[in-house]
Chain A
Amino acid sequence: MPDGAAPVLAVSGLKTVFRTRGGEVHAVNDVGFRLRPGELLGVVGESGSGKSVTMMSLLGLLPSPPAEVRAGEVIFDGRNLLTMPPEELRAVRGGGIGFIFQDPMTSLNPVFNVGFQITEPLRRHLGMDRARAEARAAELLDLVGIPDARRRLKDYPHQFSGGMRQRVMIAIALACDPKVLIADEPTTALDVTIQAQILELVRDLRQKLGMAIIWITHDLGVIAGIADRVMVMYGGQVVEEAPVKALFADPRHPYTRALLRTIPHVRGPRAARLRVIEGQPPILRAAPSACPFRARCAHAMPRCAAENPALRAVGSGHAIACFWDAPAAAEAAHG
């Protein structure tokens, strides 16, 4: 993707806070990124680091209260989604921007059959009549590899397996040929063969429709296979951003480096015990005034407790939010 292309989605300065009985939770702190047409941006990071909340915030999907999007700008198609009237935003969601949620059982409605849930956006956004919408729905289910698609339109979510529900969500998200697809852990419940099939489908759609994709996942193998660029989150912030090859060959943020060391492999020797990142993730009671990773970081220095590092460039398209200068990749091979 040429670096100069205008982004389809540009997010800046996003801040989301939850007000709970126990006080505030600053889940997203000053997150920004740009997504170019046809690009696949992978998002990885610690559980609880704010990946889902970031995406839900920019689509206006968090119930308020308790959520409060305090600052930021989300430009899609030349307009700011955060200030758009609710009914227009609804037209964007599921129309221009498709999304797949992390928890398929709760995002599918248990009282409607799956056919209704796929045809509904087709009829609403594309004005299809019932027969055409049903034919298209069966085609979509087939595309995501659900056997006997026609018959299964009449089934309810609980009658599908975990991975099938996830694929139903994918079918719904793809129904209206969106420009941007936001996929939150879309393949966690899928086995590798079906996952490969879905990844193939996604590659195809990118090529044919120029769809841009945000793909949140814990599976770094998937990221290595499909992402163009990767954004790493920790403690509600973006801590590293890099082209996919640079991220794996030369990770610079201590969190990213620790993360990459924890993965088990199917090839090579089997480890007796898996490596973990010691320590606990931060509790974000207030906007951070220091590096959120410092308590678990082997390279922390006094400055890390005094200031929250801003993103700084360390290579072409490669930036980290860290004061420490990692040694170059070759020396760091075992570091």
Chain B
Amino acid sequence: MAEAARQPLVAVRGLKMYFPITAGLLRRRVGDVKAVDDVSFDIRAGETLGLVGESGCGKSTCGRAILRLYDITAGSIRIDGDEIARMGQTALRRLRPKMQMVFQDPQASLNPRMTVAGIIGEPLAEHTPMTQAERLERIYGLMDAVGLNRNFANRYPHEFSGGQRQRIGIARALALNPKFIVCDEPIAALDVSIQAQVVNLLEELQARFGLTYLFISHDLSMVRHIATRVAVMYLGRIVEIADRDALYSAPLHPYTQALLSAVPEPDPDYEGQRRRIILTGDVPSPARPPEGCRFSTRCPTVLDICRRVAPELSTRGGDRAVACHLHPATAQQTAGRTGGPMAAVWEPAGQIQQGEHR
């Protein structure tokens, strides 16, 4: 039983997503934005992997790439037994009901000419044989679930507040009972009570249907609440991945430490006297990442070697992996390059091909 539960639903190996930088009238390619640059991780069935990190570090790109909303540059993505890294759009379409996304920018992702009922019902109409009456019943049920008043079913997106729009996107993603949902900042625009309501809902659905989530968020207190494990990204790479409790009680990577020290707390007295680790130095550009460790230009505990050699993401026993020279792994703990953090669980079949974007 424990074995089945540990089976990864999602296994990502060596994922790269580069966006071309072009110049001149002919739009010649002069470089790449390496938004996601060699990322590997597993998400086990029924768990929630939190993905956190600085703005622009590649979280959304990673989430979208995993669902193949992009043609990825390189890597392997296996979801529920299907290798989808190079799958064509027709084949992908059949798999779509299983995997859904809640988008970061709610307004931009909702069709302004459709009513709320139309937006939530669209995937139902496309992928299920439901009658109109059944569909409406389901739409109402979903609206109740995300705390949207049923009376609003015939309104258009622009008639809603920011937080209400975000809930429309969540209801739509839930419509087909997916197995795996990438939630990209699903609660950022919501007030804390509705955040709590949505998070409780996501947790209930998970308990009931065994849903698996990739939960992208900059809200570290909410990630602490919802995630089973947490991956920390910096400039296109994962720098630390660990069990929630381990990560929050003893962060190992200096970037994780800085991140946790900066969380604002709802307490004016504490806010007045707290000590943050303030990172200095400019955030490097993903078009020209620094040599060696990508965090070396801002790391408060940088060593000489950090500026020359990129540290591998390697395990520290149990479910924890860190990419930092300050925490050297013992030889037998080092995970293989293509194996990634949870190498023992699944090895990619065959060679990972280098592919061109677009």
Contact = CB atoms under 8 A, between A and B. Distances in A.
B307 to A, nearest CB: 18
B322 to A, nearest CB: 19
A225 interface: yes
B214 to A, nearest CB: 16
A190 B193 contact: no
A224 B164 contact: no
A47 B194 contact: yes
B262 A189 contact: no
Contacts of B69: none
Interface in A236-260: 244-245, 248, 258-260
B196 A276 contact: yes
Interface stretch (B2-10, B41-49, B73-81, B281-289): B281-289
Contact of A192 (B199, B203, B264): B264
Contact of A196 (B60, B188, B262): B262
Interface size class of B (residues with CB under 8 A): 35 or more
B284 A147 contact: yes
B309 interface: no
A167 B163 CA distance: 20
Nearest to B286: A147
Given A185-B189, A218-B195, A273-B200, A224 B54 contact: no
Contact of B263 (A190, A221, A244, A271): A221
A274 interface: yes
Interface size class of A (residues with CB under 8 A): 35 or more
Contact of B192 (A21, A148, A220, A248): A220
Contacts of B264: 192, 195-196, 219, 221-222, 224-225
Contacts of B106: 103
Given A188-B189, A189-B185, A47 B108 contact: no
Interface string B142-182: 00000101010011000111111000000000000000000
A194 B54 contact: yes
Contacts of A164: 55-56
Interface stretch (B87-95, B216-224, B310-318, B349-357): B216-224
B195 A189 contact: no
Given A22-B154, A244-B268, A264-B225, A189 B164 contact: no
Contacts of A20: 155, 159
Interface in B205-222: 218-222
A71 interface: no
A274 B266 contact: no
Contacts of A193: 54, 258-259, 262, 279
Interface of A: 18, 20-22, 25, 44-48, 52-53, 102-106, 142, 145-148, 151, 159-164, 166-167, 185, 188-196, 218-225, 244-245, 248, 258-260, 262-267, 270-271, 273-277, 280-281, 283
Given A189-B104, A280-B147, 14 more contacts: A45-B191, A48-B163, A52-B162, A103-B106, A151-B285, A163-B218, A189-B188, A192-B220, A194-B55, A195-B264, A225-B271, A266-B221, A273-B200, A283-B151
**What are the 9 closest A-B residue pairs judged by CB atoms, nearest first?**
A163-B55, A47-B163, A221-B264, A274-B196, A191-B218, A148-B285, A220-B266, A192-B262, A147-B285
